[in-house]
Structure 1
Amino acid sequence: MNMVRTAVPLLLCGSLLTGCSSLPETDWPPCALIGGVGGAGLGAIESSSWAAAGLGLGALTGAAYCWVHGDQDGDGVVNKLDDCRDTPKGTKVDEKGCPLPEPVAVVEEVVVAEPVRVELDVKFDFDKAKVKEESYGDIKALADFMSQYPQTTTDVEGHTDSVGTDAYNQGLSERRANAVRDVLVNQYGLSPDRVNSAGYGESRPVADNATEEGRAINRRVEAEVETRP
């Protein structure tokens, strides 16, 4: 009978203290009080003279238990191991109860490729838009380059010298650009949507139109290659 009388309060007190371990720090005084009451009850089992001593000892035991096994901020790390006992609720912590470092976002640098001007040695006879045989090598080199880099497109630009009216030279420059485009698409297999053509007439000379040599240089087709998004 004595064993039963002693064991039941002990189990009750142990259960209460275990429950106290999950309480926040603000609730530890009630926890200590519960421990004191349990201690007083245990003392009273022995004799009435032990009740007061049991009350004090139980209170100390309850408070100590809460400190050792309690989790003040509810982060899953008990106080005796927690170096950061005021961690906000829901914060991920390490084994010492301190917040884990925030992951650093990796920002991928986006490089925007600048258009590349390709020097084509495509020249035309006066008032002609027919591609000369000696110009096919440069046109093929451009086609081969673009075939290696399928994401590229090209703008083929036609030009004239200053002889003739602006309107006539505009149309002539467009025909020259289209002639080179046809070679790229029809003979060297580039997709039509990768080759654009435009004419600029006599508006962009690169040599002096006052001389025959300069005018011959200005009767040309150039190309600009860029990477499409």
Structure 2
Amino acid sequence: MNKLILLIPALFLAGCANQEIVTMQDTSSQVNDLRDLDYDGVIKARELCDETLNGASVNNDGCPKDKTIKQSFRLDVKFANDSSKLLPSNYAKLEQLAAFLEEQDGAVVTIEGHASKVGNPAYNLALSQRRADAVANALVEDFDIPVSRVEAIGYGDAEPLIDEDSELAHETNRRVMASLSGEYSTTDMRWTIFTSE
């Protein structure tokens, strides 16, 4: 049995000894450009999208992938009793809404004016319209939002948030609101150890 074990490797070596040994050329010509000039992981020979954004997630052709991001924005601006004057503190909220509208270039915002149940309904309807107009005008005049993208509607005291006769209810109901959502496309980035999402 031991002789058989020794014989098998000897047979393999003997079988290889008669074969001709072929030596390879010293150099071979490179057919394709194998460099990755934009560091996206795709070689130049396959690259269809040059100058990819650094860190972008790409497909097999080196083209960046896009992803859609959905966003929403809610505006809630309060007013003093019997007033349609915007307070300076409201401008920070309007600036955020204007920035959102700039990102969502197709979005149209409807500004909703409301009043408390103090006073008669006809007066409150006109007051709520003036409040909505004040916010809409600020967006157009102070933040350069096109007038075609801003609509203002007064609802009077018909849609209270708190339906009771208290100072808290009146203060809460004297408001202008807007709610809108939109989406935009951006380049999808590769995950790294520094990615926070």
**TM-score grouping bracket, smaller chain normalisation:** 0.5 to 0.7
Matches within 5 A, 1:45-60: none
Distance across 1 between alignment mates of 2:164 and 2:134: 23
Q: 1:187 aligns with which of 119, 129, 142?
A: 142
Does 2:153 align with 1:217? no
| Preserved contact between residue 170 and residue 199 of structure 1 (Cα < 8 Å) | yes
Residue aligning to 2:67: none
Residue aligning to 1:159: 114
Work out the percentage of aligned pairs sharing the same amino acid. 37
| Preserved contact between residue 184 and residue 190 of structure 1 (Cα < 8 Å) | yes
RMSD: 1.9
Does 2:127 align with 1:140? no
| Preserved contact between residue 159 and residue 204 of structure 1 (Cα < 8 Å) | yes
Does 2:133 align with 1:178? yes
Residue aligning to 2:23: none
Task: Determine which structure has greater relative contact order: mean sequence separation of CA pairs < 8 Å that are 6+ residues apart, divided by chain length.
Answer: 2
Q: Tell me which amino acid in the other structure corresponds to 2:117.
A: S
Q: Tell me which amino acid in the other structure corresponds to 1:158.
A: G
Deviations along 1:172-219, whole A, 9 cap, x unmatched?
000000000011000001000000000000000012431101110100
Distance across 2 between alignment mates of 1:124 and 1:147: 26
| Preserved contact between residue 153 and residue 226 of structure 1 (Cα < 8 Å) | no
| Preserved contact between residue 84 and residue 134 of structure 2 (Cα < 8 Å) | yes
**Secondary structure class of the residue paired with 2:110:** strand
Distance across 2 between alignment mates of 1:162 and 1:149: 35
Q: 1:120 aligns with which of 46, 71, 75?
A: 75
Gaps of 5+ in 1: 1-114
Matches within 5 A, 1:96-107: none
Distance across 2 between alignment mates of 1:210 and 1:168: 18
Distance across 2 between alignment mates of 1:169 and 1:209: 16
Tell me the TM-score normalised to structure 2 length: 0.54
Q: If each structure's strand is expressed as a fraction of its own residues, which one has the higher value? A: 2
- Structure with higher Rg: it is 1
Q: If each structure's helix is expressed as a fraction of its own residues, which one has the higher value? A: 1
**Secondary structure class of the residue paired with 2:108:** strand
Distance across 2 between alignment mates of 1:156 and 1:213: 23
Which stretches of structure 1, 4 residues or longer, exceed 3 Å deviation after superposition? Answer: none
Distance across 2 between alignment mates of 1:121 and 1:205: 13
Matched positions, count: 113
Tell me the TM-score normalised to structure 1 length: 0.47
Distance across 2 between alignment mates of 1:123 and 1:222: 9
CA shift, 1:226, in A, is: 5.3
Residue aligning to 2:66: none
**Secondary structure class of the residue paired with 1:204:** coil
